[in-house]
Amino acid sequence: MPVAHHVLQHAHGPAADRVAVRCGERSRTYAELAADLVAGAEHLAATGTRPGDLVALSLADPLDTLVALLAADRAGAVGLVGDPAWPVHQRAEVLHALTPAVVVHVPLPRGHGAPPPPPGPTPDDAAAAWAGFSSGSTGRPRAVLRSRGSWTGSFEHVSRLTGTRAGDTVLVTGPLASSLHCFAAVHALAAGASVELAPTVSATTAALAGADLAHLVPSRLDDVLDALDAGVPSRLRTVVVGGAGTDPAQRARAHAHGVQVVAYYGAVELSFVAIDTGDGLVPFPQVEVQVRPQPGTRLGEVWVRSPWTASGYLAGATGPLRTRDGWSTVGDLADLPDLPDPPDGGAADAGNRVLRLRGRGDGAILTAGATVVPEDVEAALRPVPGVRDVVVAGAPHRRFGAVVVAVVEADDHPGLRAHLERVARATLAPAQRPRRWFRVDALPRTSNGKVARSALGAAVAGHDPAAQVGDLAVLR
């Protein structure tokens, strides 16, 4: 992981006795963490790990995983975190495809209180230092390779925008296999803060009283806001939200508790692209954003030029990342209604203007010649009373190509569908209105807390009737 050097620096300074990381009842000070990562690095080297090797981590405990990541970094290797929620066959398939030099299944040896060595020379920012999985809510996991500088170079900006300070306690609310949560942990360590690993709802709620900041996805933000509404004590001042956009209701609820919401848009392949501190998404520092027109639609594809982009995929994997002339995209769509039309049909430069995202290009629904962006429909339906969440997908149709289908997470309330249809007629264009409605008690989610859109899409389209989406029922 690209912050072993930072941890060693803190271990030789005033933060040495400060708690660096805590998970449940276990904790490490900066001095203890430094001793552990050095001992782990020595063990990896003694068992054959060499600089540049890929070290796959298959550990269930988040604290052991973080220590192993730091040890791999100290050894000059590239740490790759697997998801402990993966079934055995999926983990085996991923490891077979990537052929790592080492697979760490058990915790690495501890330092047993030995004083850590000095940090030594500053590591090379251009060297590969981390690999993480990208699949979002769709597709088979693929490993993305990143250089050290593509993360550490953004730390100063993130600290300033989120207000992260040495001595803060930063709550990390999901698995380290997620780049969102992994970045949160290593950024906090680089800043000299204390990391609280709380990957479950109950652990997150229990840790609120001692946390100053929290990094989370929108669904976990709802859990935190519910806890605050219920009177759970907290000193939170900032929540940092990634993975999907926040809505005004969430921001209003957070504001009522004195909590600032900082949301960002990015991807594992692109890192930070845009950030929203309350006035809409604007390009992240040192990131240039263009929206390039797409034929047959008012939307454009988001391209970025940035020092934070990834090096590519491991093992020759293919994915949404495309690069051209120093610019990169993963196929996300956006519009920029506050910009004048670009000359000659060229790209609209976002500058510091608000970026309005419209989802991934391959998620758009083409119905009767119209392009429907699922997020637009979801935003209209989600505020309906009784609806906890909603996902929109396309289902094949002989005449129209596809029709819009809504899957609503809600209890079985009489009249809910009629209410939803009234809202749809009042707020949505005819092509956007769902033609089929389903209900589930709980939408399927990935281990990162994002809705499993691929499973839902496959189920409603009839491509995979066995997709694991819970008790999908027709909404009446």
How confident is the model over 15-40, as pLDDT tens digits?
Answer: 999 999 999 999 999 999 999 999 99
Mean pLDDT of the 3-20 span: 97
**CA triple 220-135-308, angle to 5 deg:** 85
Report CA 349 to chain centroid distance, whole Å: 25
* Confidence at residue 255, expressed as pLDDT on a 0 to 100 scale: 96
pLDDT in tens, 52-61: 999 999 999 9
Alpha carbon of 443 to those of 147, 296, 409, 450: distances in Å?
Answer: 35, 32, 6, 10
Alpha carbon of 452 to those of 57, 436, 442: distances in Å?
Answer: 24, 19, 11
pLDDT in tens, 186-210: 999 999 999 999 999 999 999 999 9
- Of the chain, the end-to-end C-alpha distance in Å amounts to 51
Lowest mean pLDDT among 146-160, 186-200, 210-224, 395-409: 395-409
pLDDT in tens, 331-359: 888 875 454 455 445 566 766 678 888 77
pLDDT in tens, 415-468: 999 999 999 999 888 889 999 999 999 888 877 777 877 677 777 766 555 555
* Confidence at residue 139, expressed as pLDDT on a 0 to 100 scale: 46
* Confidence at residue 152, expressed as pLDDT on a 0 to 100 scale: 95
pLDDT in tens, 147-176: 999 999 999 999 999 999 999 999 999 999
* Confidence at residue 240, expressed as pLDDT on a 0 to 100 scale: 97
**Residue 223 is which amino acid?**
D
Alpha carbon of 401 to those of 136, 143, 340, 454, 474: distances in Å?
Answer: 26, 34, 33, 19, 22
Task: Kindly indicate the confidence band of residue 296, based on its pLDDT and cuts at 50, 70 and 90.
Answer: low
Report CA 343 to chain centroid distance, whole Å: 35
pLDDT in tens, 253-267: 999 999 999 999 998
Instruction: For the chain, state the CA radius of gyration.
Output: 23
* Confidence at residue 137, expressed as pLDDT on a 0 to 100 scale: 41
Task: Kindly indicate the confidence band of residue 287, based on its pLDDT and cuts at 50, 70 and 90.
Answer: very high
> CB neighbours (10 Å) of residue 58?
20
Mean pLDDT of the 300-324 span: 93
Alpha carbon of 458 to those of 306, 330, 372: distances in Å?
Answer: 34, 21, 18
Task: Kindly indicate the confidence band of residue 51, based on its pLDDT and cuts at 50, 70 and 90.
Answer: very high
- Residue 125 structure tokens: 């920012």
Mean pLDDT of the 316-342 span: 80
* Confidence at residue 463, expressed as pLDDT on a 0 to 100 scale: 56
Domains of the chain: 4-264 (3.40.50.12780), 269-363 (2.30.38), 365-474 (3.30.300.30)
* Confidence at residue 464, expressed as pLDDT on a 0 to 100 scale: 54
Lowest mean pLDDT among 228-237, 287-296, 304-313, 394-403: 394-403
